[in-house]
Amino acid sequence: MGKILIVEDEKSIAELEKDYLEINGYEVDIESDGKRGLFKAKNDDYDLIILDLMLPNVDGFEICKEIRKGKEIPIIMVSAKKEDIDKIRGLGLGADDYVTKPFSPGELVARVKAHLDRYEKLTGNKKGTKDEIKIRGLSIDKASRRVMVDDKEVIFTTKEFDLLLFLATNPNRVFSKEELFDKIWSADAIGDLSTVTVHIRKIREKIEIDPSNPQYLETIWGVGYRFDV
């Protein structure tokens, strides 16, 4: 599984790509405008981008360059002209693959799969691709809600597990106490922001070798918490 964004202004091509990818189990969004495509690519949580070169408002060159400033996700560039592909390669924009139109949808799917597999191996944990998140000695099984630390099971309360899972599925991002409280506790309408602090401390005691010097759950002073991968 994986979530894919297609930035393509030719509707028939975009729909064809989407159909083939969906048949193969991927979740797919289409964006036909370059500017909106770039916004989505940067702000939404995609696992791979299929990017056409010639687009309204912002072209594929620029989009690729901008995505690379913040993300390492695979980018497959699509172009009608072979010369353009050579040009993109020459520019070293950081695209992972290049496809010339017309291409067979089956070939595109094969490339998507290959890049997602490679990326998954590279990062070690991909949100939404597996039931298990593994980061160094920590493994979190989403389906069975079990947590293992160095191959030993550690028992978590429901909220501790929810909080750990939320942070681990959004690694390297800082969340304020308010945000975490909203995410995990808002439906219960009990507790306050100190609840977050208490739970963070308990999680650290369970997963960190040295809770006062955490390697997973870092405090960002004055801002909040971040799960480090």
Q: Is 9 in the site for Ca ion (CB under 5 A)?
A: yes
Q: Which stretch binds Ca ion (CB under 5 A): 3-11, 27-35, 100-108, 141-149?
A: 3-11
Q: Which stretch binds Ca ion (CB under 5 A): 30-38, 50-58, 164-172, 218-226?
A: 50-58
State the Cα–Cα distance between residues 83 and 166, nearest whole angstrom.
45
Residues ≥6 apart with Cβ < 8 Å to 23: none
Q: Is 27 in the site for Ca ion (CB under 5 A)?
A: no
Q: Is 84 in the site for Ca ion (CB under 5 A)?
A: no
> Would you call the peptide bond into 102 cis, given omega within 30 degrees of 0 as the criterion?
yes
Q: Which strands, in side-by-side order, build the sheet including 152-154?
A: 132-135, 138-141, 146-149, 152-154
Give whichever of 18 and 199 is closer to Ca ion, judged by the CB atom.
Answer: 18
Contact 47, 116 (CB under 8 A): yes
Contact 5, 50 (CB under 8 A): yes
Q: Which stretch binds Ca ion (CB under 5 A): 54-62, 123-131, 149-157, 158-166?
A: 54-62
Q: Which stretch binds Ca ion (CB under 5 A): 5-13, 60-68, 98-106, 137-145?
A: 5-13
201: alpha, beta or left, given left = phi > 0 and alpha = psi -120 to 50? alpha
Give whichever of 108 and 140 is closer to Ca ion, judged by the CB atom.
Answer: 108
State the Cα–Cα distance between residues 71 and 66, nearest whole angstrom.
9
Adjacent-strand bridge partners of 163 = none
**Nearest of 127, 130, 225 to residue 180 by alpha carbon:** 225
State the Cα–Cα distance between residues 95 and 25, nearest whole angstrom.
23
Q: Is 54 in the site for Ca ion (CB under 5 A)?
A: yes
Tokens of 75: 């980018």
Give whichever of 54 and 149 is closer to Ca ion, judged by the CB atom.
Answer: 54
Give whichever of 49 and 163 is closer to Ca ion, judged by the CB atom.
Answer: 49
Q: Is 52 in the site for Ca ion (CB under 5 A)?
A: yes
Query: Considering the complex, what minimum distance in angstroms separates the CB of residue 8 from Ca ion?
Result: 6
Measured from each CB, the residue nearest to Ca ion is 54
Query: Considering the complex, what minimum distance in angstroms separates the CB of residue 57 from Ca ion?
Result: 12
Give whichever of 2 and 37 is closer to Ca ion, judged by the CB atom.
Answer: 37
Q: Is 16 in the site for Ca ion (CB under 5 A)?
A: no
Give whichever of 12 and 213 is closer to Ca ion, judged by the CB atom.
Answer: 12
45: alpha, beta or left, given left = phi > 0 and alpha = psi -120 to 50? beta
Q: Is 59 in the site for Ca ion (CB under 5 A)?
A: no
Binding site for Ca ion (CB under 5 A): 9, 52, 54
